[in-house]
Amino acid sequence: MPPYAQTNLELFAQLTRSAWDAPDLVRIRVAYEVAMRLFTGCFRPSGKTFLAHLVRTASILADLDAAPPLVVAGLLHAAYSHGEFATSAAGASPYKQRRVRAAIGADAEDLVASYTRLPWGAEHLPGLLEKAGSADGRLRDVLVLRLANELEEHLDLAPLYCPNAAERRAWAEANGSLCVQMAERLDLANLARALARAFEETRSGGVPAALWVDAGRWDRTQPIRLLSDASSFLLPPASHRMRPRVAALRLARRTVRQVRHAMARRRRGAPTLI
């Protein structure tokens, strides 16, 4: 498995080796600058910086020889779900889309918005797999973007460092093969092999107990965990504070989501993890 980039400098070097044109290099630099602003102080549940996740997703796409707009979208694929726009609204909105479109262009922004709208739950994967063989245009690009995100999420045993490691391992066991098959139907053999390895490592691997952050020691009720998706969290400098109204709205939305999640798991007879 190639050592994908995880910093802007590594990504820039990768794209320069691939002989990207100057206008496309400008777009990727601008996209990174936007990402720095939207994801300042943002971390994945494993403790990894969100910027590293975004850069490596873009690097995976570049390794697949994806077109520049798709690589640029990879660098900002989570902008509408996790980016800090200083608003309380989650998801895409005209205001957010105008800002991103002005920075990276309409073609790349359209992929970011489509990525945000595409359902990707376990219940949706079988249907998406059926469509993958004939997918073209935007749908194909968004499916490739989703698979690149899944690969990045499962590299380095990252799920096993999360507070809900058992749930994430179970997801890989139940759905990993569907993602691999989807990559195969998209004629991306290298991506399929990389996904298969990453999912197998997640299923069979382990991490030292001293390095695992369990839910009991990582207090998920603290105000710093106030992103639209509670799996990631914001850790601002001590001198910075989220505006009270925004913090209150996000906390309320997160509480409602957690209650719904717990009720759904209880109906399925699964243990409740909040």
Q: State how far the Cα of 108 lies from the Cα of 85, in Å rounded to an integer.
A: 18
Instruction: Give me the residue spans of the domains in the chain.
Output: 8-211
Q: State how far the Cα of 239 lies from the Cα of 255, in Å rounded to an integer.
A: 26
If one counts every other C-beta atom within 10 angstroms of the C-beta of residue 263, the result is 11
pLDDT at residue number 159? 93
pLDDT at residue number 260? 74
Return the CATH class of domain 8-211: mainly alpha
pLDDT at residue number 87? 73
Q: State how far the Cα of 183 lies from the Cα of 166, in Å rounded to an integer.
A: 25
pLDDT at residue number 255? 78
Where the chain has pLDDT below 50, the residues are 215-216, 218-221, 223-230, 271-274
Q: State how far the Cα of 104 lies from the Cα of 98, in Å rounded to an integer.
A: 10
Q: State how far the Cα of 9 lies from the Cα of 55, in Å rounded to an integer.
A: 10
Residues 216-273: pLDDT tens digits?
A: 454 444 544 433 334 788 777 777 766 676 667 767 777 777 777 667 666 666 543 3
Q: pTM, whole model, 2 decimals?
A: 0.84
pLDDT at residue number 213? 62
